[in-house]
Amino acid sequence: GAVVSQHPSRVICKSGTSVKIECRSLDFQATTMFWYRQFPKQSLMLMATSNEGSKATYEQGVEKDKFLINHASLTLSTLTVTSAHPEDSSFYICSAEGASYNEQFFGPGTRLTVL
């Protein structure tokens, strides 16, 4: 199966700083990437969908100016949490979909802790 990586796997930052999370498709070209957030003991919540070279589509209630998404190439998407606060602490997961696949492949997730 296709492989998706995320970096970093874990990050701790101070309140007010910005954090960038990378999502890469390692062995296929991802036409679409998705970003999810998961709070403890809850299910995954879709935050936004990004297509290579175009602006991301955000789900209702997700602040686009706070969660900046860049999908600059067919193998890389980044999520930047700007001016992070403790309530942004969560498990962030990306997934990627290629033109030849009928399923999404998920990354291992990034644990963000904002102090």
Partner 1 sequence: DAKTTQPNSMESNEEEPVHLPCNHSTISGTDYIHWYRQLPSQGPEYVIHGLTSNVNNRMASLAIAEDRKSSTLILHRATLRDAAVYYCILRDNSESGGYQKVTFGTGTKLQVIP
Q: Which is nearer to partner 1, 74 or 109 (CB)?
A: 109
What is the spatial distance between Cα 69 and Cα 59, in angstroms, rounded to a whole number? 13
Q: Does 31 bind partner 1 (CB under 8 A)?
A: yes
Q: Which is nearer to partner 1, 11 or 44 (CB)?
A: 44
What is the spatial distance between Cα 106 and Cα 55, in angstroms, rounded to a whole number? 21
Q: Shortest Cβ distance from residue 51 to partner 1 (Å)?
A: 7
What is the spatial distance between Cα 14 and Cα 83, in angstroms, rounded to a whole number? 9
Q: Does 86 bind partner 1 (CB under 8 A)?
A: no
